[in-house]
Each structure stands twice: as structure tokens, then as C-alpha cells.
């Protein structure tokens, strides 16, 4: 049989590979299989805890008593001695215990008074009871099949001992294998041949993405799994013909087309360029070189491509860390539940009262890092989320925000307070600026401050708190920092209202349910400087009930160069929030209006609303959905005349450890912008500096936030 050119080419490459002893360094991140192989599950193999000296002594005493009772029974002097009914309760390392004593007075006379004071752990009695039951029935208890050893190491298994998503009837399984391979042969087309495991050189690839699980009920089990990614496209099964066999060899390396449907959630838009190169590498039964115009594209994009690969590698590492945390969740929750009561009692008994009442420091320290990757299905060439102030970079891994600060609250014991927060990252580039006004002097330095203020609690009746400097905005439901919000990306209304304010504010609790506040600020956006006249505002907070709260904030002031009262802006922000244990929902409505100082003095109008719904599924898992809309009729807020509708859904996992908290979020978002200036960027540049606009945009966001709090 005559070998095909592709087979000859593969054999030649393999011969060179082994003859020259050249090798390929592979860095594999098997997120799910690797992450969860660390800890065995206690539900599968129950390992007994070691006994303490007191428990061993008690068991020895019980054995001595059993022997004495057996001797008495043999002599016929008394009936069998059985444990008496529970007359007292004691705690021994968090386990209940019952006294063991004589069944009647005659036995008690022989055994002695010392048996009345013996306390035996309940689990020890359970062991004896189980043995008696087995001896009475003559049938040993059924053992779980293959429970005598751990077989998760076998090929084809994920090496996992347990699943945090396990249910009574179904155990789901998600596998993600993302790897980066580097070949010292430096192939021109980035193709690695002669291997069924490694396929591409110098690229981050989704080798496998599988979803499925095990259905189990009593003794019945069924398993269903799926496979996507490079494995489903490139494994030849010893058949090099694209017309035969079960594998799609004709499109083996065209992951920009067929396989991109599986890997687009992890790879950025630059993969399309790589796909255009690699799509011409393998044709039917021969390997060809890329055309000249594709080689030119590769050469011109080399620096950008290399940087993207590094960023995507960090994104894959972040996913792996998140999966590692997921694997440990179930085991940690089980241990916490079993030891919660014991730990509580032990701490109450062991710690002296002085240690419990020791005052903590009034100073609080904090820090955080916010990593995010937003996959835009439009793949814009400029990597921009149009008309956004936060999370405005797409198709790249960014440090969206990082910060550190110190804070001291003003209290009755120490009435002076202060707060200082410094920050940096992509989100610090655009927020706080106005689309229609110039910036303040030194804005590039001031944008790196998240807070810088002092406060004083005035000893007046219930306490009047006065604060001056740079402080968190009294307007809006969402914070500048994603760690404090229900979802990773902010709503449109939040991006076009102030996140921070510069000025003075004062708040006073009129009653337990009502708090009023007033403020004077430099401008609507604290980094904008349209004039020198301040703006004024007030806020009313009212607790309607134990779970329902209402807040109304109003702002009035000039935000144009012309400070005449007819051109002052009026803005209203209304928030209604309802909380009940694991559920939080809110409704926010904003409206703003002002006359514009241009010929004809037209009146501009802005409106926005959102309805977030948050549900805590478990102690660490939660989910959120948020429909919203925004209407910038005249383009005074966003800079474009448009009506925006958006829907966002998010899944969150929190992993607390010591004084840190790790937050992983997976978010899907759809935005629709219509109007004269509406739309979102899509695709390549249609002319230098100009990218086409489309009305709809879909985003898949992956966020990893690590926080530190001293208290």
C-alpha cells in the first residue's frame, strides 16, 4: 500500500523528533481533574478518629465490667447486666454519652458502686450494639461494592473523591482541559504532528471541555458524558483519510470555524486570525504552506498574538484555581457542620472571659485584587465595550481594579474617624469623568484615590456624623468595586451616576427607622470641572419594616459652564430593597434632566432602572439575575442618543480563608442599544480608526476577586 503524502510527512516528522531527541514542553491545566484530586471524601471511606486516653480507659473499664458480669451469669447469681436507660447526659469531645450501670440491685451489689460513675461514649455502645445485632441475625451487613480500596486512580477516571454538586440521584461532572504547548522546532504553521495529545504550538487551547455525570438510584447506575474541544477534532484514530472514520479530519485544525464553537468561551478574538492561518495548513491528504498574504498577517500580528497568549494563560490558571476551590467545598462544609457545635462549646469552656471581652483595634486594614476576562462575541478590533466607564475592555485578561486602604470609624468612644483608599487598574481610567465637561487639574493622580476623608461624630442627641473629603457616593445602588456588588459588571445607571463624591456630607438618625443626610459636592462627577459652583443634595432613608428599606436621593446643581439657575441639573435616585435571609431583591429608578446652554436651550433627559434578584443557594454559592434599561434621549450622559436594554445573569462562589475572601463569578450579559447614536463595536476596522457598529452585544465574563479584611 502506498503511503499518502500526509502519512509520509508525519513519519518524517516523527523520525526527526526521536532522532534529534528534541522535545515539546507541555504545560497542562486540567482544571477539574487536577483540582479535585487532593482530598479523599469521608463519605466513601469512613476512617475512624483516634481515641483519646480517657476514651481508651473507659473502654477498658467496660470490658472489665463485661467480664465480671459474664462470671456472675456463669455462677447463676444474677441475670445479665444491660445498660440502663439514659439517666444523665455528658459531653466527651462533642459526642453524647450515657451511663452504664447495673440493671437491678442484685447486680449492683456484685459490681459495686463505681459502675454508676462511668460514662461511655454513645458511639462505643453503637459498636457493641451492631455486633450484637449481627450475631443475633447471623447475617453480616451489606458492604458497598469495591469499597475496600480507592479506584479513582484508574485510567478514564477524573481522580476525584467527591463532588460539591452531588445530589441524591445525580452527580454532575465538568471537565476543562486548557493547555499551552511550546515546540522547539518552531513550526511555521504552529502545527504539531505525530501526537494524539498535543496539537498546536505556542497557543493556549481548549483541549477538552466535557459535561455530563452519573445517574444513580439504589443499585442502578448510568453515565453520560460529552466531549468538545481539540480532542473531538484532531484525534485521527489511525485513519488519515478525511472521508472515512469517526473524526472530522478535514477541519482538524480549523478551530476558528468548527471548534471555535467549543473553545470560544476561553479564547479571545485573536484566535480567529490564527484560525485563518491554520485553516490552509491541512488540505485533504497533504500538508501545504500558508499563502503569502496569510504569512504577512502572521508576521504583522506576532507581538500582539504573543501578548494575548500570555494573558489567556493567566486566565486559564485563574479558572484552575477556582475549580480547586470548588472541589474542597463539600468536604469543608461537612467538617464545619460536624464540628460547629463542638468548637462553640470548646471555645466557651477554654477561653477566659477576659479574652472574649478584649476590645479589637479601631483601625481596619483592607486590600483586594480584581481580575476579569470579558469575552465579546462580536470580537471588536479595538477591544472596547462601547460607552462604558467600568469593565470596558473585552477579549483580554485585565486587572480591572486593585486597591488597599485603612479606615477608622467615628464612634462614641473615639469620635474622630478617617479613611484612605488607593486604587489602580483598568476601571480607574474612565470612571468619574464627564462626557460633556473638562477634567479637573491633576485628574490622572486623583483617579487613583478611592477615598480620602475625615469624619467626626458630634455629640448631639442621637449623634450627627459630619464627613469631608472624598467619600463614597450617596447616589446609586452599586459600588465602584465589583467585590461589593451582586454581579461582576455594573448596570448602565451606575456607570453614569457618581461612584464617588468630593465635598462635605452630614447624616443624622432621626429615629430607629428614619435617617436624613445632606451634602455639598464639587460636581456631578468628582473628576469633572465645568464651573466653580458646587452642587447640593439630600437623602432620606426609611426602614419600612424589618426587611423592606426605601432610600430617596436628590441632587441639584450646575454641571455646565453657564451656571445660571435655568441650566442647573436635577437628578433623582429612588431605591426600594427587600431582604429575607437568603433572598435580596431591589428596584432602582433614576431620572435626570437639565436645559442645555446651546441655541434653543433644549431640555435633556435621562432615565434608567434595574431590578436585581439575588439568591443564596448555599453558604458559598449564589445566583443573581438583573434586567435593566437606560434611555439617554439627548446624549448628555453617555455621549450618544440611545435606548439600552440589558439582561445579566451571574453565578458566584465564595471561599473564605482566615482574613481573606476569594470570589469567583461567571456572568452572561446581553445588551441591546437602539437609536441615532446606539450600537456596539463589532469585527475588524472598516477604515483606519473606525469599527462597525451593531445593535446587540453578548458578553461572557469571568471574574476572580481576592479580598483581605483585618476585621
> What pLDDT digit, counting tens, does each position of 466-500 carry?
999 999 999 999 999 999 999 999 999 999 999 99
Greatest C-alpha distance within the chain: 118
Task: Please state, rounded to an integer, the average pLDDT across all residues of the chain.
Answer: 75
Question: Could you tell me if residue 354 is inside a domain?
Answer: no
- Asked if 669 and 646 touch (Cβ cutoff 8 Å), the reply is yes
Residue 244 has pLDDT above 60, yes or no: no
Least confident piece of the model among 75-89, 223-237, 624-638: 75-89
List beta partners, residue 287. Answer: 282
Mean pLDDT of 306-312: 44
DSSP E strand stretches across 100-202: 119-121, 170-183
* Reported confidence tier of residue 335, pLDDT bands at 50, 70, 90: low
* Reported confidence tier of residue 143, pLDDT bands at 50, 70, 90: low
* Reported confidence tier of residue 37, pLDDT bands at 50, 70, 90: very low
Question: Could you tell me if residue 432 is inside a domain?
Answer: yes
Q: Domain total for the chain? A: 2
Least confident piece of the model among 28-37, 134-143, 415-424, 616-625: 28-37
Note whether 181 and 269 are same-domain residues. yes
Question: Could you tell me if residue 701 is inside a domain?
Answer: yes
Residue finishing a domain among 319, 351, 381:
319
Q: What is the pLDDT of residue 71?
A: 85
Question: Could you tell me if residue 520 is inside a domain?
Answer: yes
Note whether 595 and 704 are same-domain residues. yes
Question: Could you tell me if residue 654 is inside a domain?
Answer: yes
Note whether 309 and 404 are same-domain residues. no
CATH number at residue 676: 2.40.160.10
Note whether 305 and 443 are same-domain residues. no
Note whether 413 and 496 are same-domain residues. yes
Of residues 72 and 309, the one with the higher pLDDT is 72
Note whether 545 and 650 are same-domain residues. yes
Mean pLDDT of 229-238: 66
Nearest by Cα to 494 from 470, 483, 478: 478
Residue 82 has pLDDT above 60, yes or no: no
Of residues 538 and 158, the one with the higher pLDDT is 538
> By residue range, what is the domain housing residue 500?
370-709
Question: Could you tell me if residue 598 is inside a domain?
Answer: yes
Could you say which DSSP state residue 477 is in?
S
Note whether 296 and 378 are same-domain residues. no
Nearest by Cα to 260 from 228, 294, 307: 228
C-alpha cell of 405?
486602604
pLDDT tens digits, 347-381:
454 444 444 444 568 899 999 999 999 999 999 99
Question: Could you tell me if residue 90 is inside a domain?
Answer: no
Note whether 553 and 492 are same-domain residues. yes
Residue finishing a domain among 286, 319, 352:
319
Q: What is the pLDDT of residue 131?
A: 43
Q: Per-residue DSSP letters for 591-647?
A: EEEEE-SSTT-PEEEEEEEE--EEEE-SSSEEEEEEEEEEEESSSSSSSS-EEEEEE
Note whether 492 and 383 are same-domain residues. yes
Note whether 619 and 492 are same-domain residues. yes
DSSP E strand stretches across 151-190: 170-183
Residue 689 has pLDDT above 80, yes or no: yes
Q: What is the pLDDT of residue 284?
A: 32
Question: Could you tell me if residue 417 is inside a domain?
Answer: yes
Note whether 383 and 300 are same-domain residues. no
Note whether 552 and 615 are same-domain residues. yes
Q: pTM here?
A: 0.54
Of residues 105 and 342, the one with the higher pLDDT is 342
Least confident piece of the model among 29-38, 221-230, 507-516: 29-38
Amino acid at each position: 500500500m502506498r503511503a499518502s503524502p500526509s502519512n509520509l510527512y508525519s513519519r518524517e516528522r516523527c523520525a526527526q523528533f526521536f532522532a534529534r531527541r528534541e522535545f515539546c514542553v507541555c504545560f497542562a491545566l486540567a482544571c477539574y481533574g487536577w483540582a479535585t484530586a487532593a482530598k479523599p471524601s469521608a463519605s466513601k471511606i469512613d476512617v475512624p478518629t483516634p481515641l483519646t486516653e480517657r476514651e481508651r480507659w473507659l473502654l477498658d473499664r467496660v470490658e472489665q465490667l463485661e467480664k465480671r458480669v459474664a462470671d456472675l451469669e456463669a455462677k447463676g447469681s444474677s441475670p445479665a447486666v444491660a445498660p440502663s436507660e439514659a439517666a444523665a447526659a455528658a459531653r466527651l469531645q462533642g459526642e453524647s454519652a450515657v451511663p452504664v450501670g447495673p440493671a437491678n440491685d442484685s447486680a449492683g451489689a456484685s459490681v459495686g458502686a463505681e459502675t454508676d460513675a462511668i460514662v461511655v461514649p454513645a458511639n462505643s455502645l453503637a459498636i457493641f450494639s451492631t455486633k450484637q445485632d449481627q450475631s443475633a441475625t447471623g447475617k453480616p451487613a451489606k458492604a458497598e461494592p469495591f469499597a475496600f480500596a480507592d479506584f479513582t486512580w484508574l485510567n478514564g477516571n477524573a481522580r476525584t473523591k467527591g463532588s460539591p454538586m452531588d445530589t441524591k440521584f445525580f452527580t454532575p461532572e465538568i471537565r476543562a482541559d486548557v493547555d499551552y504547548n511550546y515546540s522547539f522546532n518552531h513550526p511555521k504553521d504552529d502545527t504539531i504532528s505525530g501526537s494524539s495529545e498535543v496539537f498546536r504550538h505556542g497557543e493556549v487551547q481548549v483541549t477538552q471541555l466535557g459535561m455530563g455525570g452519573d445517574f444513580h438510584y439504589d443499585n442502578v447506575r448510568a453515565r453520560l458524558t460529552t466531549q468538545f474541544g481539540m480532542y473531538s477534532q484532531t484525534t485521527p484514530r489511525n485513519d488519515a483519510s478525511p472521508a472515512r472514520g469517526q473524526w472530522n479530519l478535514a477541519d482538524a485544525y480549523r478551530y476558528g470555524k468548527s471548534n471555535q464553537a467549543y473553545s470560544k468561551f476561553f479564547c479571545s478574538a485573536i484566535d480567529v486570525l490564527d484560525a485563518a492561518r491554520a485553516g490552509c495548513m491541512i488540505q485533504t491528504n497533504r500538508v501545504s504552506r500558508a499563502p503569502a498574504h496569510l504569512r504577512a498577517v502572521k508576521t504583522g500580528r506576532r507581538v500582539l498574538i504573543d501578548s494575548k497568549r500570555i494573558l489567556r494563560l493567566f486566565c486559564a490558571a485563574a479558572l484552575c484555581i477556582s475549580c480547586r476551590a470548588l472541589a474542597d467545598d463539600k468536604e469543608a462544609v461537612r467538617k464545619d457542620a460536624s464540628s460547629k457545635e463542638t468548637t462553640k462549646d470548646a471555645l466557651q469552656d477554654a477561653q477566659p472571659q477576659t479574652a472574649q471581652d478584649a476590645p479589637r483595634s479601631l483601625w481596619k486594614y483592607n486590600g483586594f485584587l480584581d481580575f476579569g476576562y470579558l469575552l465579546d462575541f462580536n470580537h471588536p478590533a479595538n477591544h472596547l465595550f462601547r460607552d462604558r466607564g467600568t469593565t470596558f475592555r473585552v477579549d483580554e485578561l485585565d486587572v480591572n481594579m486593585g486597591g488597599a486602604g485603612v479606615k477608622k470609624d467615628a464612634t462614641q468612644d473615639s469620635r474622630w474617624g478617617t479613611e484612605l483608599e488607593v486604587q489602580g487598574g483598568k476601571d480607574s481610567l474612565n470612571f468619574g469623568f464627564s462626557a460633556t465637561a473638562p477634567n479637573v487639574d491633576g485628574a490622572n493622580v486623583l483617579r487613583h484615590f478611592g477615598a480620602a476623608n475625615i469624619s467626626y461624630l458630634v455629640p448631639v442627641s442621637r449623634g450627627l456624623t459630619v464627613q469631608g473629603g472624598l467619600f463614597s457616593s450617596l447616589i446609586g445602588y452599586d459600588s465602584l468595586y465589583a467585590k461589593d456588588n451582586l454581579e461582576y459588571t455594573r448596570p448602565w445607571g451606575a456607570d453614569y451616576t457618581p461612584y464617588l463624591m468630593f465635598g462635605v456630607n452630614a447624616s443624622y438618625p432621626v429615629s430607629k427607622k428614619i435617617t436624613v443626610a445632606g451634602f455639598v459636592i464639587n460636581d456631578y462627577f468628582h473628576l469633572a470641572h465645568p464651573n466653580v459652583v458646587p452642587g447640593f443634595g439630600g437623602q432620606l432613608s426609611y426602614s419600612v419594616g424589618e426587611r423592606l428599606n426605601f432610600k430617596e436621593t436628590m441632587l441639584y446643581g450646575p454641571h455646565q459652564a453657564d451656571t445660571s439657575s435655568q441650566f442647573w441639573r436635577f437628578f433623582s435616585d429612588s431605591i426600594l430593597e427587600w431582604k429575607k435571609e437568603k433572598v435580596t431583591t431591589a428596584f432602582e429608578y433614576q431620572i435626570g434632566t437639565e436645559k442645555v446652554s446651546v441655541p434653543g436651550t433644549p431640555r435633556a433627559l435621562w432615565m434608567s432602572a434595574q431590578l436585581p434578584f439575588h439568591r443564596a443557594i448555599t453558604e458559598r454559592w449564589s445566583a443573581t439575575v438583573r434586567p435593566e434599561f437606560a434611555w439617554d434621549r439627548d446624549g448628555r450622559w453617555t455621549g450618544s442618543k440611545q435606548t439600552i436594554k440589558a439582561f445579566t445573569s451571574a453565578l458566584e462562589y465564595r471561599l473564605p480563608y482566615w482574613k481573606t475572601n476569594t470570589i469567583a463569578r461567571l456572568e452572561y450579559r446581553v445588551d441591546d442599544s437602539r437609536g441615532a447614536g446606539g450600537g456596539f463595536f463589532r469585527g475588524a476596522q472598516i477604515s483606519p480608526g473606525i469599527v462597525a457598529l451593531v445593535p446587540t452585544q453578548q458578553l461572557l465574563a469571568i471574574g476572580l476577586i481576592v479580598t483581605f479584611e483585618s476585621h
